[in-house]
A = this chain, B = another copy of it.
């Protein structure tokens, strides 16, 4: 099949290439009669505008990229919703890329998107990445770091105040009467984990009469929650915590399952609260209380920040969101 271009359309419609282009980009400037003829030719020939030519000529693109470590993680997926919504409002398209958390793949996508001349890149990464983003920035492609507060000057970011999230969780446990708290999750070398613990710790300190036990486990998955649950259920009652804050919902879900099936009453004997408010939290055996980050707004803010950068060339904005406490049966008394 011969590739159909604007030239062929023009020929069939009996107008010049310029007029076809006008019709495509400024329809109002073309007479109704020719517009009809042009559209007919487009349909007849199955013309599709060639973006390479267009972009080459224009020198800019209306596409942005969002690189995530794991698309199937509901956390990133829900942010993506916000990103796409806001982008589409701004007349932009979003290319998603899945880095699998692997640095090499991350780099290759970063390179790819630069070559494609995207307007900008949103990046969520478990890897240290700010150096690379700075380099890319210098070459003309702006980026926004998603999910962690950027440290380098000139690097915008949207993030969540995990200290405050940890505080909220522990504070709530204390408010409903818990005094022997436990924090489940690790490793503390992960910033988010450390921050959540720090917040929880502050709430405990404020209270004075409460204690905080740290159960440092990883990875943060359901099956580890099961193990921790079995361990706690196996203790003499006096040694058990009466309120547990798990650093994410997976751990919380596993923990609650094992506690309940071991005959420990949740929340009466042990109250549990998770973090992230994933879909399964709401639907677990005992609906799991959790800390909810504002996913959608998060994505929206990321796009907005990117647009600001594009307009103003330089910027160093950070948006830090406050998470929200979601009370459910696992932490109600």
Contacts and interface: CB of A to CB of B under 8 A. Distances in A.
Nearest to A97: B96
Contacts of A54: 115
A285 to B, nearest CB: 5
A207 interface: no
Contacts of A141: 48
Given A71-B71, A95-B95, A46 B257 contact: no
Interface stretch (A106-114, A153-161, A232-240): A106-114
B48 A115 contact: yes
Contacts of A111: 48
Contact of A254 (B46, B70, B260, B283): B283
Number of copies: 2
Contacts of A226: 283
Interface in A121-166: 135, 138-141
Interface stretch (A6-14, A30-38, A76-84, A188-196): A76-84
Nearest to A71: B71
B222 A280 contact: yes
Interface centre among A50, A52, A80, A138 (most CB of B within 10 A): A52
A91 to B, nearest CB: 11
A282 B222 CA distance: 9
A283 B221 contact: yes
A94 to B, nearest CB: 8
A93 B135 CA distance: 22
A226 B46 CA distance: 51
A80 B98 CA distance: 9
A76 B95 CA distance: 16
A51 B63 CA distance: 13
Contacts of A139: 4, 46-48
Contact of A72 (B47, B49, B77): B77
B109 A93 contact: yes
A55 interface: yes
Interface of A: 1, 3-4, 46-56, 59, 63, 70-74, 76-78, 80-81, 84, 88, 93-98, 100, 105, 108-109, 111-112, 114-117, 135, 138-141, 221-223, 226, 254, 257, 260-261, 280, 282-285
26 contacts: A3-B140, A46-B138, A48-B114, A48-B115, A49-B115, A50-B56, A51-B116, A70-B77, A71-B71, A72-B74, A72-B76, A77-B98, A81-B98, A84-B100, A84-B105, A93-B108, A93-B109, A95-B95, A95-B97, A96-B96, A96-B97, A96-B98, A222-B283, A223-B282, A254-B283, A261-B285
Given A50-B115, A72-B72, 4 more contacts: A50-B56, A52-B56, A81-B100, A221-B283
